């Protein structure tokens, strides 16, 4: 291979690597046994863009195991079609109804299993963490979260289900947590006390 051809080859490889770095897709999931929300966000040079935001309707199936199979199949389909680099899912909100929580936990579990099967790293976010990341208020309602998403991502049409917007919020939350200095610094830590203990030189007294 001549020097000119070698140089062209190296430039092409460099451009391919740059394209991979500049373009990344996040799959966000809002698990549910009646409706599962899902959203895909593409990061172009660090800027989030909505690729897809929709729901999988499950209520028509009475058999919970059929619903679980549908969830697993849908997540596998999304991963195969869009090849996301990251998978983020909302953690179940613990309520008083034990049976509902059990079903929701199963729904979350099969979605996570599909992501792990595809080799994706799974990250969970509590509902409060997602709300705080998007609006700055961990107690914000779904409509407040949606309005903020509209402003951030320049979305005009309101979807029929908040499950879809919740999934979008999870994906955007993951982007914020993994791209910010604070998000990277606190990843895997139990809280501020843990952060201070492991990073004493980064705290001004």
166 is in an annotated binding site: no
163 is catalytic: yes
Cβ neighbours for 193, distance < 8 A, ≥ 6 positions apart = none
DSSP state at residue 201? G
Catalytic hit among 77, 141, 156, 163? 163
30 is in an annotated binding site: yes
143 is in an annotated binding site: no
Catalytic hit among 24, 30, 54, 166? 30
The torsion angles phi and psi of 199, rounded to 5 degrees, stand at -135, 60
Given a contact cutoff of 8 angstroms between Cβ atoms, the answer to whether 157 and 164 are in contact is: no
Cα 63 to Cα 155: distance, rounded to the nearest angstrom = 36
Catalytic hit among 90, 157, 166, 197? 90
Cβ neighbours for 163, distance < 8 A, ≥ 6 positions apart = 30, 32, 35, 36, 37, 55
121 is catalytic: no
The torsion angles phi and psi of 58, rounded to 5 degrees, stand at -120, -10
Residue with tokens 């982007």: 175
63 is catalytic: no
Cα 147 to Cα 55: distance, rounded to the nearest angstrom = 19
Active site residues: 30, 90, 163
In the annotated binding site for Mg(2+), the residues are 30, 90, 163
In the annotated binding site, the residues are 30, 90, 163
């Amino acid at each position: 291979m001549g020097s000119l051809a070698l140089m062209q080859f190296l430039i092409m490889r460099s451009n391919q690597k740059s394209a991979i770095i500049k373009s990344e897709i996040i799959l966000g999931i809002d698990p549910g046994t009646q409706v599962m929300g899902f959203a895909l966000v593409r990061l172009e040079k660090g800027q989030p863009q909505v690729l897809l935001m929709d729901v999988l309707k499950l209520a028509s199936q009475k058999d919970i195991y059929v619903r679980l199979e549908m969830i697993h199949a849908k997540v596998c389909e999304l991963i195969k079609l869009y090849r996301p680099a990251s998978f983020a899912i909302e953690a179940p909100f613990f309520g008083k109804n034990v049976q509902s929580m059990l079903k929701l936990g199963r729904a979350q579990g099969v979605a996570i299993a599909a992501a792990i099967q595809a080799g994706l790293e799974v990250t969970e976010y509590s509902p409060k963490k997602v709300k705080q990341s998007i609006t700055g208020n961990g107690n914000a309602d779904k409509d407040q979260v949606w309005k903020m998403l509209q402003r951030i991502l320049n979305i005009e049409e309101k979807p029929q289900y908040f499950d879809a917007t919740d999934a979008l919020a999870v994906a955007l939350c993951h982007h914020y947590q993994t791209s910010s200095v604070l998000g990277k610094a606190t990843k895997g830590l139990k809280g501020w006390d843990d952060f201070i203990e492991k990073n004493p030189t980064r705290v001004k007294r």
